[in-house]
Amino acid sequence: MSQYYKPQKTRNLFDPKSKEPFVVSRSGIDLFIQCPRCFYLDKRLGTARPPGFPFSLNSAVDALLKKEFDMHRAKGSTHPLMEEYGIDAVPLADERLDEWRDSLRNGIKYFHEPTNLIIRGGIDDVWTRPNGELYIVDYKATSKNEEVNLDAEWQDGYKRQMEVYQWLFRKNGFKVSNTGYFVYCNGDTDKEAFDAKLEFDIKVIPYEGNDEWIDGVITDLHKCLMEKSVPRAKDSCDYCAYFERRAYHEKK
């Protein structure tokens, strides 16, 4: 058994009989959309998907971007990237920012009363316009030859992520623009030498979010959690397809 992956957990599981609110993260919502069976196995029965390897370089880029924008936050000044892309805003200065960024323990939260679920998500950044309207901002890092965009099917998860954050801030009483921004860092591999330094091209990509789907999905995932039996796998789920094929071979 891997020292990192524990195939069975006994804490933080959904109990249909409990009166206590159950926490579902933004990533939990996305897991339900990807595959209700994997979601149920994780949240109700305690067997999560095997984790992927941590993207340490992405985490480093994320941390450095936060430091850079936080310097402008402290000064109340506009970041050069905002000026370059004509964005009339400054990083939001709010004492709750560190809490909102803490995706593991806190994040920004909302109690969804009809389902007795607490929905939460950890954001990267928030910018504010002169009129007080907020832009939700997410940092991304990659390295590829072509210019970065949001056109790939797998990036639909990025868009849902943005929309959940926008929804959470609206539910907390904030005035939020439908426009969110992805600060996308693309590692430059065209340099003649590495010189112990990786440089990035940074692009700010606007995205028009629509959070109208979220309440319905929360209702559906709650119904899933209340079921007595494991739901069927989604046809597109690679994890379930692998498990079923492996089980087939092992029974032969």
For the segment 33-65, what is each residue's pLDDT rounded down to a tens digit? 999 999 999 999 999 998 876 666 778 888 999
In whole angstroms, give the CA distance from residue 226 to residue 190. 53
Contact yes or no for 242/45 (Cβ under 8 A)? no
Identify whether the C-beta of residue 8 lies closer than 8 Å to the C-beta of residue 103: no
1 has pLDDT over 50? no
Q: How far apart are CA 234 and CA 224, in angstroms?
A: 13
Residue identified by tokens 């607490």 is 118
CA-CA distance, 9 to 30, in Å (whole number)?
20
Residue at 34: amino acid letter: Q
**pLDDT tens-place string over residues 215-234:** 999 999 999 999 999 999 99
pLDDT per position as a tens digit, 107-121? 999 999 999 999 999
Taking 70 as the threshold, does the pLDDT of residue 199 lie above it?
A: yes
Q: What does pTM read for this prediction?
A: 0.91
**Residue % of the chain over a pLDDT of 90:** 73
Question: What integer best gives the mean pLDDT of the chain?
Answer: 91
Mean per-residue pLDDT, 149-157 = 84
In the chain, the domains with their CATH numbers are 22-251 (3.90.320)
DSSP-based three-state secondary structure for 153: helix
Q: Which residues contact 187 (CB under 8 A, 6 or more apart)?
A: 141, 142, 143, 198, 199, 200
Q: CA angle 89-95-96, nearest 5°?
A: 95
Q: Are 231 and 41 in contact (CB under 8 A)?
A: no
Residue 2 pLDDT > 60: no
The H-or-E segment that residue 11 falls in is none
